[in-house]
Structure 1
Amino acid sequence: MKTKGLHCVSAQTTQDMSLCLCPKFLHTNSTSHTWPFSAIAELIDNAYDPDVSASQFWIDKTMVQGQECLSFMDNGNGLDHDTMHKMLSFGYSDKTAIKGLEPIGIYGNGFKSGSMRLGKDAIVFSKSKTTSCVGMLSQTYLEKIDAQQIIVPIVCFEKGERNEYILYLLR
């Protein structure tokens, strides 16, 4: 089992240094969406970026321990541990055009602002050809641990060369 280092989720700066963000930023950032449908549109847009290649998208509402939950699911390519970490970081995007199709998500903010506009917590489950990952962007978690910076736990299982699985823990 391999374990990678623990990190705060950061905002990219111009000198390629990291700047850790206060947990209150999650709510502040979410106010860029004045109504829930723009936040939902942001999550749908991500599924149709050329590097994701989703052809189907589902939205469902369910109850989990007495709480209403929305789930967003697509049949895209999935995320490996590096891509999951980048997706849950602020202001990071390395998306480029693929076969002439321009990506929508180029600023590295849409998932974070959209998901936090719809709720206080987002859990991301992703499966690609070689990796299964779970990431948690949670205002509730950060409040409970009295966090001074945004911390995003990420757990990934990666299939090795001999069909063995390697566990990555990122935070």
Structure 2
Amino acid sequence: MSDPHRAMADTIRGVPVSKLCPKYLHSNSTSHTSPFSAIAELIDNAYDPDVKAKQFWIDKTVVNGQECLSFMDNGNGLTFETMYKMLSFGYSDKVAGRGHVPIGTYGNGFKSGSMRLGKDAIVFSKSKSTSCVGMLSQTYLESIKADQIITPIVCFEQMDKLNIHLLT
């Protein structure tokens, strides 16, 4: 007779892989004692050597009766791979460039900072040939009764000036 708990676990080569509960998004955000440290975290990301942003804007608007903060920079943008890593936990490829040491190296800052400011974050990014939209949303995860964190990402890669296709 097989163990019913083992059947529920995701595995890689038969070894159970741990999951990250959606409640972690909130508990992780409490590492920021104030909204200002969370905002500083998001600004720091734009300052990193691989982003090379020269300008950064913060705006507040109302969407469907909800106050929303918008953070925008004119940096290099994210590819599908870098968006996926940014929305995942514990990944950081940041390296120093021209004597400029990156601030974050643990792969947690965006998640903790954005979730300290609100329950949902939608990331729009455009790099040289790719446009991506990624979502980190407690509201979405609650609505689908998710048992682990899911981060939907849709990317479009520009092949030439007329053809755009969806990356899978």
Q: TM-score of the superposition, structure 1-length normalised? A: 0.86
Aligned-partner Cα distance in 1 for 2:104–2:141: 26
Match of 1:56 in 2: 55
Aligned-partner Cα distance in 2 for 1:161–1:126: 18
Query: Rg: which structure is higher?
Result: 2
The amino acid that maps onto 2:24 is: F
Match of 1:6 in 2: none
Match of 2:134 in 1: 135
Of structures 1 and 2, the one scoring higher in RCO (CA 8 A, sep 6+) is 1
Match of 2:120 in 1: 121
The amino acid that maps onto 1:77 is: N
Question: Deviation digits for residues 66-93 of structure 1, max 9, x if unmatched?
Answer: 0000000000000010110011010100
Aligned-partner Cα distance in 2 for 1:90–1:19: 12
Matched, 1:99 2:111: no
The amino acid that maps onto 1:136 is: M
State the 1:98 CA deviation: 1.0
Aligned-partner Cα distance in 2 for 1:57–1:150: 29
Match of 1:68 in 2: 67
Aligned Cα root-mean-square deviation (Å): 1.5
Matched, 1:112 2:111: yes
CA spacing shift, 1:130–1:18, aligned 2, 3 Å: farther
The amino acid that maps onto 1:132 is: S
Aligned-partner Cα distance in 1 for 2:130–2:26: 30
Aligned length: 153
What secondary structure does 2:156 align onto?
strand
State the 1:161 CA deviation: 6.0
Match of 2:82 in 1: 83
Aligned-partner Cα distance in 1 for 2:123–2:35: 19
* Structure 2 unpaired stretches of 5+: 1-15
Match of 1:47 in 2: 46
State the 1:166 CA deviation: 2.4
State the 1:160 CA deviation: 2.4
CA spacing shift, 1:18–1:89, aligned 2, 3 Å: farther
| Identity between Structure 1 and Structure 2 (%) | 76
Aligned-partner Cα distance in 1 for 2:23–2:147: 9
CA spacing shift, 1:64–1:40, aligned 2, 3 Å: same
Moved more, 78-87 or 159-168: 159-168
The amino acid that maps onto 2:112 is: S
State the 1:162 CA deviation: 7.6
* Structure 1 unpaired stretches of 5+: 1-16
Match of 1:151 in 2: 150
Greater helix share, 1 or 2? 2
Match of 1:13 in 2: none
State the 1:101 CA deviation: 1.1
